[in-house]
Structure 1
Amino acid sequence: MKSLHRTDLYAWSIFDAERNVDFNSIAWIRAEGNVLIDPLPLSDHDWNHLQSLGGAAHIVITNSDHLRDAREIALKTGARVAGPQAERATFPIQCDRWLQDGDTAVPGLEVLEMQGSKTPGELAFLLEDHTLITGDLVRAHRANALMVLPDPKLKDKAAAIASVRRLADLEQIETVLVGDGWSVFQNGHLYLEQLATAISNP
């Protein structure tokens, strides 16, 4: 796994040739039990690395299209799985917990519910106030330029814009770790503001 901007954060990725971007997963290493976010399949190297760091106690999934390898990793590690409350009736796997806006996934990982994306109640996470972790709605197909899903994939564009605006109002955000594409490691709030402006005034 790749080291990120904090010594307790790692990522691993798989390149998607159709979209020409990396799909990303995040591991937050913590004494109380490691947390995996939208976990992709792990190579043998990454699996061994994760095991050396204590395995996984929790898996959180932002939306049903980011289920990825969560079921298999949960079976191997015994991790408890959490998914979006708004998809509870149709979610592809059983979860131990369902998350919605304002919840705390684990201490230090706050839940923000995104509206208008391609799945109901997509989750984003605010990690210890300064790092935003997104699923599908906010992404980046080139470096230093956040974007949102294309209009045809949005269920409600106005609601999606409002969700991005809400993120842009969080002035303390320094880093934006995206599920799809290029993450932003500095001035995350400014990039979110630029995105909110761009999609509000196309």
Structure 2
Amino acid sequence: MKSLHRPDLYGWSTFNPARNIDFNGVAWIRPGGNVLIDPVALSNHDWNHLQSLGGVLWIVLTNSEHIRYAKEIADQTYAKIAAPVGERDSFPIHCDRWLADGDQVVPGLEVLELQGSKTPGELALLLEETTLITGDLVRARKAGSLTILPDEKLLNRQAAVASVKRLAALPNIEAVLVGDGWPVFRDGGLRLQELLDTL
């Protein structure tokens, strides 16, 4: 796994040729048990790295289309899985916890529920007020700028734009780690405002 902008954060990716972007997983390494977010498949090297860092306690899925490699990791590590309460009745794999707006997965990791994306109640996660981790709605097709899903993929564009406005209003965002595309490691709040200005 690759070191990110904080010493307790790691990321790893798989390239998706159809969309010509990386799909990303994030690992938060913490004393109370590590958290993975939208994990993609792990290479043998990444498995060994994760185990050396203490394994995994929780896997958080931002939406049902980001299940990716979560079940396989949970089966091998006994990690618990958390997912959006908005998809509780239709989620395709077993979950141990359903997350709603304002919940804390673990101390320091706050849940923000988004509306209007391609799945109901998609989650974004706010890590210690400065790092925003997004699933599908907010993404980055080129380095240094953010975008959103195309209109034809959205359940409700007006609600999706309102969700982006809410994210852009967060006061202390330094980094935006996207599930799909390029992460933004500096001036994340500014990049979110620039995105909002295009909508």
Same fold (TM over 0.5): yes
Task: Give TM-score, length-normalised by structure 2.
Answer: 0.99
Quote the RMSD (CA, aligned, Å): 0.5
Q: State the partner residue of 2:42.
A: 42
Question: Displacement of 1:5 after TM fit?
Answer: 0.4
Q: Deviations over 1:112-140 (max 9, x none)?
A: 00100000000000000000000000000
Q: State the partner residue of 2:130.
A: 130
Q: State the partner residue of 1:175.
A: 175
Task: Give TM-score, length-normalised by structure 1.
Answer: 0.98
Matched to 2:48, the amino acid is N
Q: State the partner residue of 2:162.
A: 162
Question: Displacement of 1:185 after TM fit?
Answer: 0.5
Q: Deviations over 1:29-87 (max 9, x none)?
A: 01100000001111000000000000001000000000001111001111111000000
Structure 2 matches for 1:85-104, cutoff 5 A?
85-104=85-104
Measured in 2, the distance between the counterparts of 1:198 and 1:171 equals 20
Matched to 2:151, the amino acid is D
Question: Displacement of 1:106 after TM fit?
Answer: 0.7
Structure 2 matches for 1:111-130, cutoff 5 A?
111-130=111-130
Measured in 1, the distance between the counterparts of 2:111 and 2:198 equals 25
Residue ranges of structure 2 left out of the alignment (5+ in a row)? none
Does 2:11 match 1:4?
no
Count of equivalent residues: 199
Q: State the partner residue of 1:109.
A: 109
Measured in 2, the distance between the counterparts of 1:159 and 1:36 equals 28
Residue ranges of structure 1 left out of the alignment (5+ in a row)? none
Q: State the partner residue of 1:147.
A: 147
Question: Displacement of 1:19 after TM fit?
Answer: 0.9
Q: State the partner residue of 1:190.
A: 190
Matched to 1:142, the amino acid is K
Q: State the partner residue of 2:24.
A: 24
Question: Displacement of 1:197 after TM fit?
Answer: 1.1
Matched to 1:86, the amino acid is G
Question: Displacement of 1:23 after TM fit?
Answer: 0.3
> What secondary structure does 1:158 align onto?
helix
Matched to 2:97, the amino acid is R
Matched to 1:17, the amino acid is P
Following TM superposition, where does structure 1 have runs of at least 4 consecutive aligned residues deviating by more than 6 angstroms? none
Percentage of matched positions with identical amino acids: 66
> What secondary structure does 2:160 align onto?
helix
Measured in 2, the distance between the counterparts of 1:8 and 1:169 equals 25
